[in-house]
Amino acid sequence: MQIPDVKLMNGTTIPQLGLGVYQIDDEKDVKLAIATALESGYRSIDTAAAYGNEAGVGAAIAEAGVARKELFVTTKLWNKNQGYESAHRAFDESLEKLGMEYVDLYLIHWPTDKQHICDSWKAFQEIYASGRARSIGVSNFQPMHLDVLLEYADTTPMINQIEIHPYNQQQAARKYCQAKDIVVESWSPLFQGGELLDDNIITTIAHTHRKSAAQVVLRWHIQHGLVVIPKSVTPERIRENIDIFDFELRDEEMSMIDTLDRDQHVFEYDQRPLS
Ligand code: NAD
């Protein structure tokens, strides 16, 4: 299965589809999910310090036997560790837990306040310069947060990972990032497998293509140029979620899904400007 690559502003690339491992806590589940994903052709894994599974992810990757240089591994700095020294320390801990010499992408998990974000970014730039993170970026940053960071930053964040699915399309953030050449990555791309997958428009389109609702939603992300990281622990679903490169949604179908936007979030989060 050939997954397209998306080019980042520093010339490196990220596979357009990867496996998310949020809420996969049990070590056996992590192992099975990652082994299944790598066997099926996934090459990108998205974890975070906050998920508490970096050690399991690292062990599962090592066991699967795919060369490290073929993989794209993302982890994230948790909020309580934001700050200059603490970000450096947290990054070292993440690398140690993963059992890796570098990650492909290190993200600030959430915007908090200006001081913490800028101090963390200073550390991120040094980590990037050292080669231990091949790219750096942010997550859950709205344009108002990026404005603050961009004014401070010498190195522009290369990726912004935000909640995107047809019920929450984040047009403003996407437009802003596109203008700044920041790649947008969709978290909870399936809206956590809830009501979206029963939506009439989605299931009707799925029926036409003899594909599942999840495959249609993932295809919608891909055709909008978004990077996706659907999560599953179920081998059949992991395989299903990568089996989306043999069909294409028509323009009218893309437009129909575009009409579903209703600003519906996975959970409520703070979207105020940085203090
Ligand atoms: P998701 O939208 O990927 O949904 C996952 C759920 O959808 C699964 O638990 C399962 O119930 C269902 N599902 C998966 N494949 C399916 C299929 N083929 N058919 C039917 N149902 C299916 O939600 P998520 O896990 O919240 O997000 C994906 C990844 O994004 C996470 O694992 C994590 O890596 C990342 N994430 C990042 C942040 C952040 O703040 N940066 C927040 C949440 C998630």
Tens of pLDDT along the chain (275 residues) come to 689 999 999 999 999 999 999 999 999 999 999 999 999 999 999 999 999 999 999 999 999 999 999 999 999 999 999 999 999 999 999 999 999 999 999 999 999 999 999 999 999 999 999 999 999 999 999 999 999 999 999 999 999 999 999 999 999 999 999 999 999 999 999 999 989 999 999 999 999 999 999 999 999 999 999 999 999 999 999 999 999 999 999 999 999 999 999 999 998 877 788 88
**What pLDDT is attached to residue 271?**
76
**What pLDDT is attached to residue 211?**
98
Ligand 1 centroid vs 249 CA: distance in angstroms? 22
**What pLDDT is attached to residue 1?**
64
80 DSSP 8-state letter? G
Ligand 1 centroid vs 125 CA: distance in angstroms? 29
The residue nearest atom 14 of ligand 1, judged by CA position, is: 232
Question: Which of 42, 51, 106, 167 is an active site residue?
Answer: 51
The one-letter amino acid at 28 = K
**What pLDDT is attached to residue 199?**
98
The residue nearest atom 36 of ligand 1, judged by CA position, is: 187
Instruction: Give the position, in ligand 1's atom list, of the atom nearest the Cα of 230.
Output: 3
Ligand 1 centroid vs 106 CA: distance in angstroms? 19
The residue nearest atom 42 of ligand 1, judged by CA position, is: 187
Distance (Å, rounded) from C-alpha 6 to C-alpha 120?
A: 26
Active site residue 269: no
Ligand 1 centroid vs 119 CA: distance in angstroms? 30
Ligand 1 pocket (Cβ < 6 Å) reads 20-22, 46, 109, 139-140, 161, 187-193, 197, 212, 214, 229-232, 237, 240-241
Rg (CA), the chain: 18
**What pLDDT is attached to residue 181?**
98
Give the sheet arrangement for strand 183-187, strand by strand.
19-20, 44-46, 72-77, 105-108, 136-139, 159-163, 183-187, 227-228
β-bridge pairing 13-15 and 5-7: antiparallel
The residue nearest atom 16 of ligand 1, judged by CA position, is: 237
Do 145 and 274 meet the contact criterion of CB atoms below 8 Å apart? Answer: yes
Residue 67 CA, chain-centre distance (Å), reads 21
